[in-house]
A and B are shown apart, each in its own frame.
Chain A
Amino acid sequence: MKSLQLARPQRGVMWRLWLALLLGVAAAGSAVALLATSAWLITAASAQPPVLLMMVPIVAVRAFGVGRGVFRYVERLVGHDAAYRVLGETRARITGRLEKLAPLGSQRKGDLLARLVLDVDAVLDLWLRVLLPVAVATVTAAATVGLLAVLLPTAGAAVALAVLIACTVVPWLTARTAERAERNVAGARGDVAATTTESLLTAADVVAYNAIDSVLDDFSRRDAHLAAAERRSAWSAGLGSALLVLCVGGASVAALILGSTAHITGAVFAVLVLTPLALADVLGGIPAAAQLAIRVRASLDRVQELVDTPAPVTEPAKPLPLPTGRDLQVNLLRAGYDGPDVLDGLSLDMPAGSRVVITGPSGSGKSTLAAVLLRFLEPRGGEVLLDGVDLARLEGDQVRSVVGLLTQESHVFDTSIRENLLLAKPGVSDLQVWKALYRARLGMLVEKLPQGLDTMVGEHGARLSGGERQRLAFARLLLADRDVLVLDEPTEHLDEETGRALLADLFAAAGNRTVVLLTHRPELVPPHVPQQFVCLT
Chain B
Amino acid sequence: MKPLDPRLLRRARGARVFLAASVLIGVASGVLIIVQAVLLAHGIAGVVLRGSRVTAVAWGLAAVVAGRALLVWAQEVVAQRAAAAVKSTLRRQVLEHSLKLGPVWLSGERSSALTTLLTKGLDDMDPYFARYLPQLVLAATVPAGVIGWMATGDLIAAGTVLITLPLIPIFMALIGWVTQARSRQRQHALAVLAHHFADVVGGLTTLKLFGRAKSQESAVRRVTDQHRAASMGSLRLAFLSSFALELLASLSVALVAVGVGLRLVDGKLGLETALMVLILAPEAYLPLRQVGMQFHASADGVAASEEVFRVLETPLPARGERTDVPDLRVSPLYLYDVTVTYPGRDVPALEGFDLELRPGEVVALTGPSGAGKSTALAVLLGFVAPERGMVVAAGSAADEFDPVEWRRQFAWVPQRPGLRLGTVADNVRLGRPDASDDEVRLALLAAGAPDLLLDKPVGEQGQQLSGGQQRRVALARALITDAPVLLLDEPTAGLDADTEATVITGLRSSGRTVLMVAHRPALIAAADRTVTVGARELVNA
Q: Which residues of A contact B (CB under 8 A)?
A: 30-31, 34-35, 38-39, 41-43, 45-46, 48-49, 51, 54, 57-58, 61-62, 64-66, 68-70, 72-73, 76-77, 80-81, 84-85, 87-89, 91-96, 98-99, 102-104, 110, 113-114, 116-117, 120-121, 189, 192-194, 196-212, 214-216, 219-220, 223-224, 226-227, 230-231, 233-235, 237-239, 241-243, 245-246, 249-250, 252-253, 256-257, 259-260, 266, 269-270, 273-274, 277, 281, 361, 374, 376, 396-397, 400-401, 404-405, 410-411, 413-414, 423-425, 441-442, 444-445, 459-460, 465, 467-468, 476, 480, 495-498
B114 sits at the interface (CB 8 A): yes
Q: List 27 A-B contacts (CB under 8 A).
A: A35-B278, A35-B282, A39-B278, A45-B261, A45-B264, A46-B49, A46-B271, A70-B243, A73-B239, A84-B231, A95-B201, A104-B205, A194-B460, A204-B418, A205-B417, A206-B99, A208-B414, A209-B407, A214-B433, A216-B99, A227-B85, A238-B74, A249-B36, A252-B61, A256-B44, A273-B43, A467-B541
Whole-angstrom distance between the alpha carbons of A249 and B279 in the complex? 13
Q: Once the chains bind, are A202 and B212 in contact (CB under 8 Å)?
A: no
How many of B's residues come within 8 Å of A, CB to CB? 144
Knowing A58-B258, A96-B217, A203-B111, say if A77 contacts B54 (CB, 8 Å). Answer: no
A110 to chain B: which residues have CB within 8 Å? Answer: 202
Cβ 8 A contact of B53, one of A203, A209, A260: A260
Add 5 more A-B contacts to A35-B282, A58-B262, A241-B76 (CB < 8 A): A91-B197, A121-B194, A246-B65, A253-B58, A273-B40
Whole-angstrom distance between the alpha carbons of A480 and B207 in the complex? 12
B465 nearest CB across to chain A (Å): 12
Q: Return the chain B residue nearest A41 by Cβ.
A: B261
Q: Once the chains bind, are B95 and A219 in contact (CB under 8 Å)?
A: yes
Q: Once the chains bind, are A51 and B421 in contact (CB under 8 Å)?
A: no
B218 to chain A: which residues have CB within 8 Å? Answer: 92
Q: Once the chains bind, are B275 and A256 in contact (CB under 8 Å)?
A: no
Q: Return the chain A residue nearest B104 by Cβ.
A: A204
Q: Return the chain B residue nearest A397 by Cβ.
A: B211
Most chain B CB inside 10 Å of its own CB: which residue of A87, A252, A260, A361? A260
Whole-angstrom distance between the alpha carbons of A333 and B424 in the complex? 38
Pairs A-B, 3 closest by C-beta atoms: A238-B76, A65-B254, A249-B65
Q: Once the chains bind, are B410 and A208 in contact (CB under 8 Å)?
A: yes
A246 nearest CB across to chain B (Å): 5
Q: For chain B residues 200-228, which have a beta carbon within 8 Å of chain A? A: 200-214, 216-218, 220-221, 224-225, 228
Whole-angstrom distance between the alpha carbons of A382 and B282 in the complex? 77
B228 to chain A: which residues have CB within 8 Å? Answer: 81, 84-85, 88
Q: Once the chains bind, are A196 and B91 in contact (CB under 8 Å)?
A: yes
Q: Once the chains bind, are B225 and A88 in contact (CB under 8 Å)?
A: yes
Knowing A54-B262, A99-B217, say if A202 contacts B204 (CB, 8 Å). Answer: no
Cβ 8 A contact of A256, one of B57, B225, B235, B407: B57
Q: Once the chains bind, are B61 and A48 in contact (CB under 8 Å)?
A: no
Whole-angstrom distance between the alpha carbons of A64 and B251 in the complex? 8
B56 nearest CB across to chain A (Å): 11
Q: Once the chains bind, are A200 and B106 in contact (CB under 8 Å)?
A: yes
A24 nearest CB across to chain B (Å): 13
B453 sits at the interface (CB 8 A): no
B540 to chain A: which residues have CB within 8 Å? Answer: 441-442, 444-445
Cβ 8 A contact of B265, one of A51, A192, A468: A51
B319 sits at the interface (CB 8 A): no
Interface string of B110-132 (1 = CB under 8 A from A): 01001100110000000000100
Cβ 8 A contact of A242, one of B72, B81, B252, B255: B72
B438 nearest CB across to chain A (Å): 21
A102 nearest CB across to chain B (Å): 4
Q: Once the chains bind, are A70 and B247 in contact (CB under 8 Å)?
A: yes
Q: Which residues of B contact A (CB under 8 A)?
A: 36, 40, 43-44, 47-49, 53-54, 57-58, 61-62, 64-66, 68-70, 72-77, 79-81, 83-85, 87-88, 91-92, 95-96, 98-100, 102-103, 106, 111, 114-115, 118-119, 130, 193-195, 197-214, 216-218, 220-221, 224-225, 228, 231-232, 235-236, 239-240, 242-244, 246-255, 257-258, 260-262, 264-267, 270-271, 274-275, 278-279, 282, 286, 368-369, 381, 383, 404, 407-408, 410-412, 414, 417-421, 430-431, 433, 460-461, 466, 474, 477, 481, 493, 519, 539-541
B257 nearest CB across to chain A (Å): 4
A226 to chain B: which residues have CB within 8 Å? Answer: 84, 88
Knowing A58-B258, A212-B99, A216-B95, say if A80 contacts B264 (CB, 8 Å). Answer: no
Q: Once the chains bind, are B216 and A234 in contact (CB under 8 Å)?
A: no
A192 to chain B: which residues have CB within 8 Å? Answer: 91, 119
Q: Once the chains bind, are A205 and B66 in contact (CB under 8 Å)?
A: no
A537 nearest CB across to chain B (Å): 15
Q: Once the chains bind, are A114 and B421 in contact (CB under 8 Å)?
A: no
Q: Once the chains bind, are A43 and B48 in contact (CB under 8 Å)?
A: yes
Knowing A256-B43, A411-B203, say if A99 contacts B81 (CB, 8 Å). Answer: no
Q: Once the chains bind, are A42 and B250 in contact (CB under 8 Å)?
A: no
Q: Once the chains bind, are A93 and B261 in contact (CB under 8 Å)?
A: no
A267 nearest CB across to chain B (Å): 8
Cβ 8 A contact of B72, one of A194, A238, A269: A238
Whole-angstrom distance between the alpha carbons of A93 and B249 in the complex? 42
Q: Return the chain B residue nearest A59 by Cβ.
A: B258
A120 to chain B: which residues have CB within 8 Å? Answer: 197
Cβ 8 A contact of B115, one of A94, A117, A196: A196
Whole-angstrom distance between the alpha carbons of A81 and B225 in the complex? 10
B244 to chain A: which residues have CB within 8 Å? Answer: 69
Knowing A77-B235, A246-B69, say if A95 contacts B80 (CB, 8 Å). Answer: no
B61 to chain A: which residues have CB within 8 Å? Answer: 249, 252-253, 256
Q: Once the chains bind, are B265 and A45 in contact (CB under 8 Å)?
A: yes
Q: Once the chains bind, are A46 and B274 in contact (CB under 8 Å)?
A: yes
Q: Once the chains bind, are A102 and B205 in contact (CB under 8 Å)?
A: yes
Q: Once the chains bind, are A58 and B206 in contact (CB under 8 Å)?
A: no
Cβ 8 A contact of A207, one of B40, B75, B102, B246: B102
Whole-angstrom distance between the alpha carbons of A71 and B106 in the complex? 50
Q: Once the chains bind, are A92 and B205 in contact (CB under 8 Å)?
A: no
A88 nearest CB across to chain B (Å): 3
Q: Return the chain B residue nearest A400 by Cβ.
A: B209
Whole-angstrom distance between the alpha carbons of A340 and B70 in the complex? 58
A198 to chain B: which residues have CB within 8 Å? Answer: 420-421, 460-461
Q: Once the chains bind, are B54 and A209 in contact (CB under 8 Å)?
A: no
Whole-angstrom distance between the alpha carbons of A183 and B509 in the complex? 55
Most chain B CB inside 10 Å of its own CB: which residue of A117, A211, A241, A480? A117
Q: Once the chains bind, are A209 and B430 in contact (CB under 8 Å)?
A: yes
B539 to chain A: which residues have CB within 8 Å? Answer: 445
B96 to chain A: which residues have CB within 8 Å? Answer: 212, 216
A240 nearest CB across to chain B (Å): 9
Knowing A116-B201, A198-B421, A231-B81, say if A81 contacts B232 (CB, 8 Å). Answer: yes
Whole-angstrom distance between the alpha carbons of A35 and B275 in the complex? 11
Cβ 8 A contact of A227, one of B84, B275, B383: B84
Whole-angstrom distance between the alpha carbons of A218 and B53 in the complex? 66
Whole-angstrom distance between the alpha carbons of A269 and B299 in the complex? 43
Cβ 8 A contact of B47, one of A48, A102, A207, A260: A260
Q: Return the chain A residue nearest B406 by Cβ.
A: A210
Q: Once the chains bind, are A42 and B257 in contact (CB under 8 Å)?
A: yes
Cβ 8 A contact of B100, one of A77, A202, A212: A212
B99 nearest CB across to chain A (Å): 5
A73 to chain B: which residues have CB within 8 Å? Answer: 239-240, 242-243, 246
Most chain A CB inside 10 Å of its own CB: which residue of B48, B381, B519? B48
Knowing A96-B217, A223-B91, say if A413 contacts B251 (CB, 8 Å). Answer: no
Knowing A84-B228, A209-B431, say if A245 contacts B68 (CB, 8 Å). Answer: yes
Whole-angstrom distance between the alpha carbons of A496 and B198 in the complex? 31
Q: Once the chains bind, are A257 and B54 in contact (CB under 8 Å)?
A: yes
B90 nearest CB across to chain A (Å): 10
Knowing A68-B250, A193-B119, A241-B73, say if A87 contacts B224 (CB, 8 Å). Answer: yes
B247 to chain A: which residues have CB within 8 Å? Answer: 66, 68-70
Q: Once the chains bind, are B48 and A114 in contact (CB under 8 Å)?
A: no
